[in-house]
Amino acid sequence: MPEARDLADLVRPDLEARGFRVFDISTISHEGLRPLTFALGEIVDRHRAELAATEVPRERVILRPRGPKKGFEIRVEGGTYGNVYRILGEKPVRWVQQTDFQNEEAVGFLADRLEKLGVEDELFRLGAVQGSTVVIGEGDSIVFDWEPTMTSAAELMAAPRGTDPRLAPNARRTTSERRETYYERMDAKAEARAEVEAQRLAAYREEGE
C-alpha cells in the first residue's frame, strides 16, 4: 500500500515501548512472513512446555484381550467312592432342567451339547475317567457316571497308542443299564446318608444323657 512502510516506521516505536514485538510483513511480496512464522512457533513451543510442567500425567489405559468364557466351571470334590466332578454354570444347569431323562434322544442331545461346550475335555483335563461320578448343579441335582463320547479328545487320548476306539466293537452299556446303575448308586448314597444321620442322632442322645 502507498506509504505503508512509512506508517509502520511511525507506529513501531510506540508498540515496542509497550513490550510488543513488531514484524513488518507484506502478503503480496511475502516479505517478513518467515520471521513471523518462527516467532509464532516459539510462542507455541513455550506454551506447550508450560502446560507439560503443570499438567498431571494421564493414567495410561491398558486393554488386555480376554479369551472366550467357557460358560461353566468344574469343581472337584472328594467322595467316599472317589472324586466327584461337579459341573456348575448357567447353560449346563438349564440344559439339564430342560431334558427329559426318560427320552433317549433327549439324553443324547444333552450329551452332545455338553461335549460341544467343552465339558468333556475339561473333565479329562481334571483327571476324570470313564465311570467317574459327575454332578450337574448344586446339591444332589443330576448325578451320573461319566462316559466320554466317541468324538471327544478325552477318549481318543486315553486309548492305547496305535489304536482307535471308534473302530473297536461297541461294548458300551445301554441306556437302561446306565439308568439301573444310576439308581443303584443313588440308593447306596441315600443309605450312606441315613447311616451318617443315625450316628449323629445317637451321638447327640449320648451327650444328652
Given a cut of 60, whether residue 154 has pLDDT beyond it is no
Domain ranges (residues) in the chain = 4-49, 73-199
Given a cut of 50, whether residue 183 has pLDDT beyond it is yes
Tell me the whole-structure pTM to 2 decimals: 0.40
What confidence tens digit (pLDDT) does each residue in 52-75 have?
888 777 788 887 776 556 788 888
Cα distances (Å, whole numbers) of residue 126 to 2, 59, 116, 207: 94, 40, 17, 42
Angstrom distance (rounded) from CA 92 to CA 134: 12
Helix boundaries (H) for the chain = 4-17, 33-54, 90-97, 104-117, 119-125, 153-158, 175-208
Mean pLDDT, residues 79-98: 85
Average confidence score pLDDT of the chain: 76
Given a cut of 60, whether residue 168 has pLDDT beyond it is no
81: closest CA among 33, 131, 16? 131
Greatest CA separation for the chain = 125
For position 159, what pLDDT does the model report?
47
Lowest mean pLDDT among 53-57, 92-96, 160-164: 160-164
For position 55, what pLDDT does the model report?
75
Class of CATH domain 73-199: alpha beta
For 12-32, give the DSSP string.
HHHHHHTT-------TTT-TT
For 83-106, give the DSSP string.
-EEEEE-HHHHHHHHT--TT-HHH
Top-confidence residue, 140 or 37? 37
149: closest CA among 92, 186, 107? 107
For position 132, what pLDDT does the model report?
84
